[in-house]
Amino acid sequence: MNAAVDIAIAGTGHTALTAALALARALPQRRIALLGGADAAASADPRVTALAAGSREIFTQLGIWPALAAVAAPILDIRIDEHGAPARASLGPVAAADAFGHVIENPVFAAALATAVAALPNVERLPAVTGTPRPAADHCALPVGEGSVAARLLIVADGTDSPLRTALGIEVEARDYGTTALLATLELDAPHGGLACEHFTPSGPLALLPLPARDGRERMALVWVLPPPRAAELAAASPQRRLTELRAALPPGAAPVSAMGDPALVPLRRIRACESVRSRLVLAGNAAHSLHPVAGQGFNLSVRDLAALAQTLREHAAVGGDPGDLRVLADYARRRERDQQRTLMFSEALPALFARRELPLRLGRQLGLLALDRLPPLRRAVANFGAGLSLPAARVVDADARL
Ligand SMILES: Cc1cc2nc3c(=O)[nH]c(=O)nc-3n(C[C@H](O)[C@H](O)[C@H](O)COP(=O)(O)OP(=O)(O)OC[C@H]3O[C@@H](n4cnc5c(N)ncnc54)[C@H](O)[C@@H]3O)c2cc1C
């Protein structure tokens, strides 16, 4: 098979699907190929995604928000505290229309994105890239099985370990956090009321996120960051012992847990690619930056990146710009620098700050939580930052365009 397209997106995850959606909407005249086929692993992805209010705005522009909201649970309050210490901060409650974010299970999310992509007339699905991409002056040649695809721009969205990034010789700054996230779905004895908890323990943060009820049962997602031996011990323990240990670790005020689903373990690493653009090439999603999940920022940052990429390409296309031209891509990279830097620093600093045991720092944290709880302007600033609303959202489509 040989094909020529304007934009090729290599990947099968949320970033690749969202990129296809955003670019197809922004550039309806361009031919876009999604290289990777269906992701067989997507239905087994144990993660959930808390989509921040900033992402909601972008998915609304993309015309898919009502479909996502229908299968997500709104976050109406966020409670932050520290194990064994009295102070705690509450960022809400807020009304459903002002939800801090929405939580969606990854397989459900992938299915909704795939349905939306299938309806786009200018996106085609092709098999995965099978060799090293070869950027040339006016296109990037992509080996696909026995043939090849020539694309004016390649978007690499093949995840944290990104085989294509490696094949292209792009270096990464990597850091192993030396911790593992234990993920599980919890069933509750009482409604969660849209409450999300960020509970900092000496071994790492424990997050509870509201999920939509299933078969009449109230549910939450657990993301429990632990030292790897402790995570492995809990994963191997009997369901009853696991539940007992979880109950002892839960924050005060959390809804009572009646059952815990099978746990999945995810080792935590930070990756940042040393280059995010080259001529004919953009790295996106986890292939560009993979963050600590503590603040739920990773995918939300990628959504803002993709919206900005779509806006940048749309603006340059209006004056005849080539989507793979390095000047166009450098413009995109410049627009994203500040947000990426801040979000990476925030996701890195938060768990590090709460891991410190020195008395002055513990007191400082308690004062900080009290201030957050009592000072509405500080609360608003933190909530806006977490929601990705502290910088204006990119316009994927013209403000007056109708979907
Ligand atoms: C525990 C945890 C909780 C998280 N919670 C949140 C949250 O609440 N909010 C948030 O914003 N973010 C969150 N994140 C981050 C979020 O999960 C990631 O940012 C997001 O999944 C990245 O998606 P991706 O498509 O870039 O990468 P991936 O999900 O890794 O997908 C890349 C896919 O590409 C495939 N692939 C590999 N090679 C090729 C190839 N040659 N061709 C085609 N495809 C290929 C891979 O198999 C993979 O399926 C969390 C992360 C973790 C670990």
Instruction: For 378-388, write each residue's pLDDT tens digit.
Output: 778 777 777 77
pLDDT of res. 269: 93
Contact 7, 323 (CB under 8 A): yes
Q: Is 286 in the pocket of ligand 1 (CB under 6 A)?
A: yes
**Which pLDDT tens digit goes with each residue over 150-162?**
999 999 999 999 9
pTM, entire model? 0.94
Ligand 1 centroid – CA 171 distance (Å)? 19
Give the tokens for residue 153: 């721009």
Q: Report the atom number in ligand 1 closest to the C-alpha of 14.
A: 25
With bands split at pLDDT 50, 70 and 90, how would you rate the model's confidence at 32?
A: very high
Contact 265, 137 (CB under 8 A): no
Give the tokens for residue 194: 């849209």
Q: Is 39 in the pocket of ligand 1 (CB under 6 A)?
A: yes
Q: Is 129 in the pocket of ligand 1 (CB under 6 A)?
A: yes
Residues 6+ apart with CB under 8 A from 300: 50, 51, 52, 54, 55, 388
Domains of the chain, first to last? 2-75+101-175+269-386 (3.50.50.60), 177-268 (3.30.9.10)
**Which pLDDT tens digit goes with each residue over 228-279?**
999 999 999 999 999 999 999 999 888 899 999 999 999 999 999 999 999 9
Ligand 1 centroid – CA 106 distance (Å)? 9
Q: Report the C-alpha gap between 93 and 90 in whole angstroms.
A: 8
Enter the DSSP assignment of 274.
S
* Interaxial angle between packed helices 298-318 and 14-26, expressed in degrees from 0 to 180 and rounded to the nearest 10: 30
Bridge partners (DSSP) listed for residue 185? 221
Give the tokens for residue 139: 């296109």
Enter the DSSP assignment of 339.
H
Ligand 1 centroid – CA 79 distance (Å)? 26
**Which pLDDT tens digit goes with each residue over 293-305?**
877 889 999 999 9
Q: Is 170 in the pocket of ligand 1 (CB under 6 A)?
A: no
Torsion of CA 300, 304, 307, 311, to 10 degrees: 180
For a ligand 1 pocket test, name from 51, 126, 299, 305 the mutation site with the most ligand atoms within 8 angstroms of its C-beta. 299
- One-letter amino acid for residue 252 of the chain: P
Q: Is 264 in the pocket of ligand 1 (CB under 6 A)?
A: no
Q: What share of the chain is helix, strand, coil (3-state, %, to 5)?
A: 40, 30, 30
With bands split at pLDDT 50, 70 and 90, how would you rate the model's confidence at 128?
A: very high
Q: Is 88 in the pocket of ligand 1 (CB under 6 A)?
A: no
Q: Report the C-alpha gap between 350 and 280 in whole angstroms.
A: 36
N-terminal to C-terminal alpha carbon distance within the chain: 33
Q: Report the C-alpha gap between 47 and 13 in whole angstroms.
A: 12
Greatest Cα pair distance in the chain? 65
Ligand 1 centroid – CA 160 distance (Å)? 7
Section 335-347 average pLDDT: 91
Section 328-351 average pLDDT: 90
Q: Report the C-alpha gap between 370 and 151 in whole angstroms.
A: 53
Q: Report the C-alpha gap between 263 and 245 in whole angstroms.
A: 13
Three-state DSSP state, 7: strand
Order of strands across the sheet that contains 73-75:
48-52, 101-105, 73-75
